[in-house]
Amino acid sequence: MSAQIESHGVVPSYLLARLAASGRFPRAAAAARQTLTAGRPPFRARIDLSIDENGDLVAQLSDAPNRTINDAANTQDLPGAVVRSEDDPPVADAPVNEAYDGLGATFELLLSAFGRNSLDDAGAPLDATVHYGVDYDNAFWDGERMVFGDGDGEVFRGFTGSLTVIGHELAHGVVQHTANLEYQGQPGALNESIADVFGALTEQYAQGQSAADATWLIGAEIFTEAVEGVALRSMIAPGTGYDDDELGKDPQPDHMSGFVRTTEDNGGVHINSGIPNRAFALFATDLGGNAWETAGTVWYRALTGGLSSTATFTAFADATVAAASEVDEATATAARRAWTTVGVYEDERVPAAD
């Protein structure tokens, strides 16, 4: 298995390894073994027409996505045949349309919330391949495109059905073009957490959900009913995503006191990401309103404001507080409070309440 597939797949390798030994889900076990051993292998504008007060036709140019969906036809050959391009109508294959729509929803979040024109802020095309492999139990960003498996049908459904998964994986492309956080230890956990933040924000923006109304679940749609669990991860309550006899219990800690030191999972990047995940969810719900507005902008500015590729949790927390301070002191205090609650800051970092 290549390092990339282990690093950037939305389903952690430790979960697939547990599933690979399952006696309860034989097809899923075989699919997990296959997934673990498989290799990972221009500016576009939108014209909006309107009628001005004089009755003249006005054309306004704005940024727009440039999407191409390919079909690997259950092989591992990328990119596969083109099956839908930008401005093409929906096709009969649901995963193709789900991928197309998910790429568009992520583009709209980046543009509307952060003024970012695609992953590189220069209109990069958004490419995706569906039907990758046979019973492939993952979705991943390979540095150039999104790749979706169909799942095994026993434990995992197709991955195109989850908007948080699509937003998460495309966010790895944003990180790649900004701080380029190392995929190991705390920087790697921040990489995963920021991807989860963007995944959650993509869903919330698309559905018009406030921070209070959001589920804060990542991958809620990808488990079948056979699994005892609600999602791959919960940002608001790390460690509660699933608790299944075959898959085990979600191992994410919600506080630095539970930080996991391991050589697996690139030093626990999918595990320890629960700590900064919870910090963001707490920050967003503390502020109230829509999370992609103030809270999301603070996180985005911290990511794009010169963050080191080896940033620790504390370094990123400091960057978010600095970005929040540019809003106002109440926002900065909320950011400090969130990082203190999850144990990244000591209590004295938060001013005492009056």
Size of the chain in residues: 354
- Contact partners, residue 263, CB within 8 Å, separation at least 6: none
Residue 188 has which token pair? 């790697």
Which residue blocks in 161-293 are alpha helix, DSSP H?
Answer: 163-176, 185-207, 265-272, 274-287
Residue 313 has which token pair? 């949790």
Asked if 169 is an active-site residue, the reply is yes
Closest CA to 349 of 314, 303, 297: 314
Closest CA to 328 of 297, 305, 292, 354: 297
Contact 260, 273 (CB under 8 A): no
Task: Say which of 6, 169, 192, 203 is annotated catalytic.
Answer: 169
Residue 348 has which token pair? 């004295």
Q: Is 291 helix (H, G, I), strand (E, B) or coil?
A: coil
Catalytic annotation, residues: 169, 270
